[in-house]
Amino acid sequence: MYDAVERNVRGTWLLFAVFVLVIVALGYAFSRLLDLGYAGVAIAGVLALAGAWGSYYYSDRLVLAISGAREASRDQHPHLHNAVEGLAIAAGIPVPRVYLIDDTAPNAFATGRDPQHAAVVVTTGLLDKLDRLELEGVLAHEMSHVKNYDVRLATVASVLVGMVILLSDMFQRSMFWGRRRGSREGGGGSGLVVLVGLALAVLAPLFAQLLRLAISRNREYLADSSAAMLTRYPEGLASALEKISADPEPLEVANKATSHMYIINPLREWGGYANSLFNTHPPVEERVRRLRAR
């Protein structure tokens, strides 16, 4: 388990480095296309560093805001707070903040940059539709994400992938304008640079998404295993996963930016090997099978 935590910490810094390099490379291609010199590279570098810094310190607040989460009152939900506190003690981490999303669809996620600055979020539907042991299994899963630093890795990856996609879109939209300007003024960068830049702009978002999704899938298996160790009752989480995945009600606040953070992706995912590369979570059936085989 400690090895997994160390891998996540190293993985976070590796993500920072990879995405900064990709963004700077896009900035260089952008500069050559529009004849901006090194100014474009400098702007891209500043944006990359600012994005990395912002994603580290403020991404959890952004995720909570766009998810419509509100802090859960201890007076109204004492059983929820008691369960989170008990699991935090068992996991040996500080007690995270507890938030609620007013939605009848059962689901949950965790966010934050480390165990000292973490939050666990559940929907009201989760509280209504799961029994005590199932709820503890879900909370243990999310607490495991906090303990293993999965939340930092997932949240940072989400923000940085968004930056890569935004810059790639800007690059592609500027292609036409840059080529027109180059034809009038004899500039616009060499054809090879433009071609390489276009390829990077097209492939970088795909690579970034695949990297983010692969990280998310691997972390789910580890969190399931850690949750079973925390509760000493794997069946609770297994039953909860089946109930959540079978629930027909859609999660109204679901979106592509945060869907990978939930215990079950609230957006539809597809089967088959090729499609599974783009899924944020491993198959529920396989997760349940592994839990019941413990």
CA 218 to chain centre: 12
Q: Note whether 291 and 100 are within 8 A (CB).
A: no
The answer to whether the CB of 147 falls within 8 A of the CB of 226 is yes
Q: Is 143 within 8 Å of 93 (Cβ atoms)? A: yes
Which of these is catalytic: 85, 142, 235, 252?
A: 142
The Cα-based distances of 231 to 48, 174, 255 in angstroms read 41, 54, 30
Using CA atoms, how far apart are residues 89 and 208, in angstroms rounded to an integer? Answer: 36
Q: Which residue has the tokens 């972390």?
A: 219
Q: How many CB atoms lie within 10 A of CB 246?
A: 10
Which tokens is 182 given? 């180059």
Any catalytic annotation for residue 242? no
At position 19, the amino acid (one-letter code) is F
Contact partners, residue 202, CB within 8 Å, separation at least 6: 168, 172
Q: Give alpha helix (H) positions in the chain.
A: 2-34, 39-66, 78-91, 124-129, 132-147, 150-185, 191-231, 234-246, 273-276, 284-292
Encoding tokens for residue 41? 């590279």
- Tell me which residues are annotated as active site: 142
